[in-house]
Copies of this chain bind each other. A is one copy, B any other.
Amino acid sequence: MQFVRQSLCVRSYSSYTKIRDISEVLIGSTVEIKGWIKAQRFMKERSFIDVNDGSTKQNLQVVIEKEHKKPGHASSVYAKGILTQTPKGQLEVIADDFQVINKCDIDNFPFLARKTYPPDYIREHLHLRPRVSSFASMLRVRHHAAASFHNYFNRNGYIQIHTPILTSNDCEGAGEIFTVKPNNEALLKQMAKENVPIDEAFFDRKVFLSVSGQLHLESMCHGLGDVSENQKSPIHLAEFYMIEAEKCFVDSIEGLASDIEDMMKTVTRDVLNQCEMDVVNASPDRKRGDYSWLDKPFPTITYAEAIDVLNRNVDKLKSPVRFEEGINKEQELFLVSHVEAPIFVVDWPKSLKPFYMKQNQHNPQNVDALDFLTPSVGELVGGGVRESDYDRLSENIMDEIKWYLELRGFGGVPTAGFGLGFERYLQLLLSIHNIKDVIPFPRWAHNCQT
């Protein structure tokens, strides 16, 4: 025992203050900061160095005397000195200690000082994007938005469930999914069985990457009450995040729509309150988006009404309107601009929605599903009331997911839920056109290097 205590270390950090936490309160105090050089001006007697540490959009100006070597752009630096205020009110550090932690190889660094770059160029350097101010702002907004959704569900009594990413239930189908097998041929051979293809030997069946945790959420909902999930979903063009929620003892599509409207407004107001400076900095042209939709009620129309509106405005649309084919993105955006608000489309033809949607009471050809459409992205949320009738569900269910049917047989309850595309939400919030620019490390065809 004593032997062990001898080597107990005294644990201490070389401390520094994050730039986010440096404010007028500290004027006159000595502060230590660390970060990267964002811009610099060299004068005769002294130099002015703008430093950013990623904790905020704001740079902090450091004033160094000429005896310090000129540091290179984008280098990482340490500065210690008195915090003062310029006549114009700007905070600055008069450095008495200034050190370069690591120089930047500026000949090969893709981002120069005081220059802005198009998204296509920035995206060529995925691992260096956090060094671009607008992208760092996007990441901070993404963090706040994720936390805000989290808190919203927590406050409203939802239990968070981690649903599996490996599944044998290809519910969405259409070949838009990835299959998975161990990267170990020897192991597969060792596990091989008659009548099971060698690639499937590990799980005895074909296993996919899940694109939705909904069926599993429903299982948890039966017994646990309201549940939510943030699920990574890899499908063709990119991995993306789904925020899914399932509410117990709900059988009205109106109740579900009401929940989604409340969530959208609460979360968005919260994010704007918390980090509006980053929201503006992450948006194209550094302009605040149009959030007037926050103050409007979100109307609801039926699918048939939506098709009717589209048919009466077919001259304003490039794409043909066909009742049996659903509503495409152009048409979604038209509907939103037509009602001048985000809008719920309810009462969908059965054939356009998955098997688990509840048959409509008045029109058995329809189901109690909804799409929630918003400006700039179109469909942001899809959801519905789940079929709780054992017999009706059993007519449409595949053998592999008989377990899902069983939930109805053992004291089933009405549930309703939805999935929100988190990246689409960020695109709406930030007016960012390309989904790859709201994901830290996007994946798409031919692109999975970094």
Which residue numbers of A lie inside 8 Å of B, CB to CB? 1, 3-5, 7-14, 16, 18, 20, 34, 36-37, 53-55, 74-76, 101-105, 108-109, 126-132, 136, 139-140, 142-143, 146-147, 150, 154, 157, 159-168, 170, 175-184, 186-187, 191, 202-209, 216, 219-220, 222-225, 232, 234, 236, 239, 241, 248-252, 254-255, 257-258, 297, 299-302, 305, 309, 338-340, 343, 346, 388, 400, 403-404, 406-414, 439-441, 443, 445-450
On chain B, the residues within 8 Å of A403 by CB distance are 126-127, 449-450
B445–A191 CB distance below 8 A:
yes
Minimal Cβ-Cβ distance residue in B for A1: B339
Chain A interface secondary structure, helix, strand, loop or mixed? mixed
The listed residue with most B CB atoms (<10 A of its CB), out of A127, A166, A205, is A127
B161–A225 CB distance below 8 A:
no
Minimal Cβ-Cβ distance residue in B for A207: B448
Say how far A21's CB is from chain B's closest CB, in angstroms: 8
B154–A147 CB distance below 8 A:
yes
A18–B447 CB distance below 8 A:
no
A181–B183 CB distance below 8 A:
no
A250 to B279, CA, bound (A): 29
A408 to B109, CA, bound (A): 12
Given contacts A12-B255, A239-B166, A249-B14, contact A161 B409 (CB under 8 A): no
Given contacts A203-B446, A241-B162, contact A170 B147 (CB under 8 A): no
Minimal Cβ-Cβ distance residue in B for A129: B223
Minimal Cβ-Cβ distance residue in B for A254: B11
B410–A74 CB distance below 8 A:
yes
Given contacts A139-B161, A232-B165, A239-B164, contact A305 B3 (CB under 8 A): yes
On chain B, the residues within 8 Å of A407 by CB distance are 127-128
A223–B406 CB distance below 8 A:
no
Q: What are 21 residue pairs bridging A and B, where the CB atoms are less than 8 Å apart in the complex?
A: A3-B309, A4-B299, A9-B346, A11-B258, A12-B258, A14-B251, A53-B225, A103-B411, A108-B409, A139-B224, A140-B159, A140-B224, A143-B159, A143-B160, A163-B441, A165-B239, A180-B209, A191-B445, A203-B443, A205-B448, A219-B450
